[in-house]
Copies of this chain bind each other. A is one copy, B any other.
Amino acid sequence: MTRRRGEIPLLLAMTYRAMTEALHDRIAAEGREPLRPAHGYTFRLLLDRADVTSVDLADHLGVTKQAASKIVAELEGWGYVERRPHPTDGRARVLALTDKGHAYVRHADEMWAEIEDRWAAVIGARRLDDIHHDLRAYVEEVAGGRAVLRPVW
């Protein structure tokens, strides 16, 4: 099949959209809280760093601190995240995953992995390695490694 120049971005969107939908179907089937991508990106940031504040999160997600604060409030209400006093800065709060939060991340990772596996079953794991490499190359070399993850709207 020949490729129309400029068609790739659309296919990326369709693929990611379909994968996200698959995940949300599973989350809904489990009767979980309506976790959105922003929540997932939040989890991932809290896993990577131990000193994250709301402002850091806002920056990471590419939203205002008010929006980030709302997300944190939701996650706190569901028991996935805690706000602890900052050790040295009396204004700030440090965000951290609770045990429940950690457990959820492991669970979500497994669901994503299974979704990815269905792709691997069609094209082969080797191909997926290549794609991984190529996507990283775009994000790092073309997009400058900026990891803003807010949804495309």
Partner-B contacts on A (CB < 8 A): 1, 3, 5-23, 36-38, 44, 109-119, 122-123, 127-139, 141-143, 146-153
Neighbouring B residues of A151 by C-beta, 8 Å? 17, 151-153
* Copies of the protein in its oligomer: 2
Neighbouring B residues of A111 by C-beta, 8 Å? 6
Q: Could you tell me the distance in whole angstroms from the C-beta of A108 to the nearest C-beta in chain B? A: 8
Partner of A143, one of B18, B127, B141: B18
Q: When A8-B119, A109-B6, A152-B151 are in contact, do A146 and B1 touch as well, CB less than 8 Å?
A: no
Instruction: State A117–B6 Cα separation when bound (angstroms).
Output: 8
Q: When A6-B110, A6-B113, A38-B153 are in contact, do A135 and B18 touch as well, CB less than 8 Å?
A: no
